[in-house]
Structure 1
Amino acid sequence: MAEKKPGASHEENVRVLDAGALRALAHPLRVQIYDILSQYGAQTASTLAERTGESTGATSYHLRALAKHDLIREVEGRGSARERWWERPVGPVSFGNPEALKTPSGRAATQVVITEYMNRRHQQLLRYLSEGLRGADDEWREVSMLSTATARLTPEQLSELTQRIQAIIDETVDAYRHQDADNVRPVTIRADIFPLPTEGNLT
């Protein structure tokens, strides 16, 4: 599984997190902090505390833990000794390290990271649906898309499909990476494409 920060170019090399970085990230609050920095940009321990409902001491501690493995970095030229700003470096990141998956600890860390990451995405989707049912953000709801479909494909056809969709996502991210205006807000782009269980084994 790969995660891409808005502003990252598809031409940049994907950083495959090593076992140490995966273990450092394998904590629910750290995944949440990392994802907030990816989606909303630079934050301080105080702003993260407000967004997560945790104490400033807790967010500060986890920020330092993430920084030790270069998962995040301090924003140069911004903030002070008492108010440090942190950002997620631009560039795609992969949570699937083949070497890490060969060890029990590596598999456990990978599972925690991916599970927490997807749980957060799922909660964001449920919140969006709830607000949509209440009539909030009608303008945004009308131009959003939630769609599922099923096709019968070969591995080669699946590869072609994922590459085409990824190219559209990359083009959009590259085109609007620096956009900043009154009516601009972060938009999550999900592409879940995977094979279903074979007939006779549907559980």
Structure 2
Amino acid sequence: MTNHEAGRTLDAGALKALAHPLRVRIYDLLSERGAQTASTLASLIGETSGSTSYHLRALAAHDLIREVPGKGTGRERWWERPKGRVNLPAPSDATSAAERAASQIVNAEFFARRHETLLEYLNRPNDAASDPWRDASLIVSTNFDITIEQMTALRQEVLDVVDAAVERYRGQKSASTRRVTLRLDLFDLPTTANTPEEDS
């Protein structure tokens, strides 16, 4: 998810469809791990395939996800997030109480998932004496004093670096690549047999 780049901004209907903890997790897993089936998602999150299938259909009804063309069968359908950016409206942008409540749920769940992903990384066992992926990671936090003008300029500099990196590495897919996440924290996500094909 991003808030700075042009892309689809979720409308009230899509936001309400996403406003369920399990649907947020499914949506996030499709971003992190690429196309999945109801069964593979069920094994990842500890739910039944009937439950994940129900939530997948609800997400698909609002074009939040789609069936992968030409992959799978009628009994084993593969689902993916469409290519492109998605903008998540803030609760303060809501035009109704129901939309505000949905936005609050979705935002809270997404940021909880982001924090959970970081903690999972920090607690990941490191058996190798030297792990090049861990050596290349970055977890940084700092505090300093600037003006609003400097903050605006710094924000743009950071966004420019992120956008340039996303464009530079877009579409890479090989045995030597791993999916990473960047929030001024940079680390590899858990390895999976299904490699995402599109940055999102």
Indicate the TM-score class for this superposition, using the shorter chain for normalisation. 0.7 to 0.9
1:96 matched to 2:96? The reply is no
Task: Count residues in correspondence.
Answer: 182
**What is the match of residue 44 of structure 1?**
37
Partner of 2:146: 153
- Judged with a 3 Å threshold, the aligned counterparts in structure 2 of structure 1 residues 48 and 110 are, in CA distance, closer, same or farther, namely same
List aligned pairs for 1:4-153, cutoff 5 A. Answer: 4=2, 13-96=6-89, 101-131=94-124, 134-135=126-127, 138-153=131-146
**Normalization by structure 2: what TM-score?**
0.83
1:102 CA displacement: 2.9
Per-residue deviation, 1:187: 0.5
Deviation at residue 81 of structure 1 after TM alignment: 0.9
**Counterpart residue identity of residue 47, structure 2:** E
TM-score, normalisation: structure 1 = 0.82
Output the CA distance in 2 between the equivalents of 1:15 and 1:159: 24
Question: Do the aligned residues in 2 keep the contact of 1:23 with 1:106 (CA within 8 Å)?
Answer: yes
2: CA distance, partners of 1:99 / 1:130: 35
Q: Secondary structure at the match of 1:131?
A: coil
Residue identity (%): 52
Deviations 1:2-41 (A, max 9, x none): x05xxxxx5xx32111111111001011000101111111
Q: What is the identity, as a one-letter code, of the residue corresponding to 2:160?
A: A
Instruction: Supply the distance in 1 between the matched residues of 2:119 and 2:127 (Cα, whole angstroms).
Output: 14
Task: Give unmatched runs, 5+ long, in structure 2.
Answer: 186-200
Partner residue, 1:169: 162
> Cα distance, 1:99 vs. partner?
8.3
Secondary structure (helix, strand or coil) at the match of 2:68 reads strand
**Which ranges in structure 1 are unaligned for 5 or more consecutive residues?**
5-9, 193-203
Moved more, 20-29 or 98-107: 98-107
Give 1:138 shift: 2.5
What letter matches 2:41 in structure 1? L
